Amino acid sequence: MAKNFTYNRLDKNNAAVLLVDHQAGLLSLVRDIDPDKFKNNVLAVADLAKYFNLPTILTTSFEDGPNGPLMPELKALFPDAPYIARPGNINAWDNEDFVKAVKATGKKQLIIAGVVTEVCVAFPALSALEEEFEVFVVTDASGTFNEIAQKAAWDRMSQAGAQLMNWFGVACELHRDWRNDVEGLAKLFADHIPDYKNLMTSYFALTARKPAAK
């Protein structure tokens, strides 16, 4: 590793979330991850955005066509968030309203997830990097046709400077320290990771049996 490496951590005070084209038609194209797991991961990103109070921007492309409407759960979670329905721009960054919404957050770290990875995620990620934003791609909340397309997109973005993370890693790096809020973070994890829910159930059962401290 180069000696001049700098660990650029996610900062909850300097990050915004971009959810790009999680639309009904496009979701049907995702084959590199199980559909139920994928939906869970997308909603986990949405929930962590709410938990950390991160500015969140929703956008769709050509939703009146075959791409279809945005996931209704996202609309429900973010009723007041900027919602950019792009009439035709494939690259969200080519849409002036979208870029204005991003820059209006005042944040320099962009957490991006979308469908499909090599287009709807990669294009705005590369465009944002070119404008000197820090980009963090949520790999397990972004999907595409197959693993070949997935890996090619990941390589292209990472070589350009994007950091690839899963949603669990994003949440942990934003939180930094369990002592900031144990129950809130544990609930976020338990809501989206069945095994973590089992872990917390076991923990609460054990701690409930402990005698009170004197």
Give catalytic residue positions: 120
- Whole-number Å distance between alpha carbons of 107 and 82: 15
Terminal CA-CA length for the chain: 50
Q: Which amino acid is at 130?
A: E
Q: How far apart, in Å, are the Cα atoms of 164 and each of 8, 21, 134, 200?
A: 12, 19, 11, 28
- In this structure, what token pair is assigned to residue 108? 């320099």
- Whole-number Å distance between alpha carbons of 54 and 50: 6
- Whole-number Å distance between alpha carbons of 193 and 155: 27
Q: Give Rg (Cα) of the chain.
A: 18
Answer yes or no: are the C-beta atoms of 118 and 143 closer than 8 Å.
no
3-state SS, residue 120: helix
